[in-house]
Chain A
Amino acid sequence: MNTTPALVILIASILTNNILLASFLGMCSFLACSTKLETAFGLGVAVTFVMVCTTTLNYLLYQYVLVPLGIEFLAFILFIAVIAAFVQFVEMFVERYSPKLYYALGIFLPLITVNCAILGASLFMVIRQYNLIQSAAFGLGGGIGFWVAIMLMAGLREKMGYSNVPVPLRGTAILMLITGVIAMTFMGFAGMISMQ
């Protein structure tokens, strides 16, 4: 069993073990949806919410359904099914009860199903043997970490619109380099807190 306090996991997964900058999860949507701050904000909120709920849900299902039945190898299918079903449910719920929120977040929800950060969080949770509270903290921290990273990137990209980037660097290349620099700055937190 993993004994790291939940608060440490929460902070570490935002700063030192950022799910995007240290574990490289969610790069696709990070690159695709960081052109505008507003979009990045929406995606960040949606990812955080879905990640907290799915890691908790997946933890419960894994511990109380798969483990007693001895079918842990089905975890991948279970996790992806839970994520897809949950996202679908949230989408219908939000559409029904808060059309305004639906228009703000709606487009991101289907994207989240295939966001590897969401599935990755659940897989990390199993590998690191978190308990329920730790799983929820990790989901929350992972989501906020993604949110912070994508907001930073969107801010930089909006500024980059004014600069003259060399032609071959345009597109993905410059984004990768910028992400590298952001990741490097986040490494400055490394000594502060550590988590396994």
Chain B
Amino acid sequence: MSESTKSSGCCGGCGSGIKCMQIIEDGTLKNNPIIHQVLGVCSALAVTGRVENAIVMGIALIFVAMMSNLIVSLIRNLMPRRIRMVVEVAIIATFVIIFDQLLKAFYWDMSRQLGPYVGLIITNCIVMGRAEAYATQNPPLPAMLDGIANGLGYAVILVLIACFRELLGAGTLLGITILPASHYTPNILMVLAPGAFFTAGFLIWIINAIRQPRAETEETA
């Protein structure tokens, strides 16, 4: 209970060892951006048809969140407060462009498959949210760690959803056949759009059921 209540309070602090662990734990487990804050679900659902896509997308988000948190944190005292949003968006967009260009240069097939979703990291609320809530108030090193942690939390969920969808939808994992067609008829629905919603719904349901239910305080719908 106490974990979920303290959740979003991003207590300022600097990088002693325990603090670092706490930042990482907060980002990946206790306060996972997708499961608990329902941020950035758009891309989480869209790219999880295949595990490979999910991994690349996870790496992209870790990279962008890490670098933008670092830069925002470095210039946090120079930025006028009123234009900070614009500055943050520009910084995030820069790193998204860098990643997108790298992907296009070295991994064209993947770039085509991910389509617009790499570009959509710009509007991914996780990156923006962390830059705004954490990086503007904390020194560079913890901010960078926070970016990595939140990116990692996002990547883990993505890969988890993708594992279910690819396994049930195509009988493969990372392109390797796990369930041969002779024993298992692939359920196409899982790789199509509804499968993404169902998998995410069930995943959140299971995680909520395992954790302490905090339903009393929550609104009914």
- Tell me the A residues contacting B by CB distance below 8 Å: 21-28, 31, 35, 73-77, 80, 84, 114-116, 119-120, 123-124, 127, 157, 160-161, 165, 167-177, 179-181, 183-184, 187
Contact = CB atoms under 8 A, between A and B. Distances in A.
A170 B124 contact: no
A40 to B, nearest CB: 13
B97 A169 contact: no
B194 interface: yes
B49 to A, nearest CB: 11
A73 B89 contact: no
B201 A84 contact: no
B193 A119 contact: no
Nearest to A118: B123
A84 B92 CA distance: 15
Given A28-B38, A165-B221, A168-B205, 14 more contacts: A24-B41, A24-B42, A24-B43, A25-B42, A28-B42, A73-B100, A116-B42, A123-B116, A169-B208, A170-B215, A170-B221, A173-B201, A176-B200, A177-B197
Contacts of A114: 123, 125, 128
A157 B220 CA distance: 10
Contacts of A28: 38-42, 125
A27 B42 contact: yes
A13 B138 CA distance: 43
A26 to B, nearest CB: 7
A131 B192 CA distance: 28
B120 interface: yes
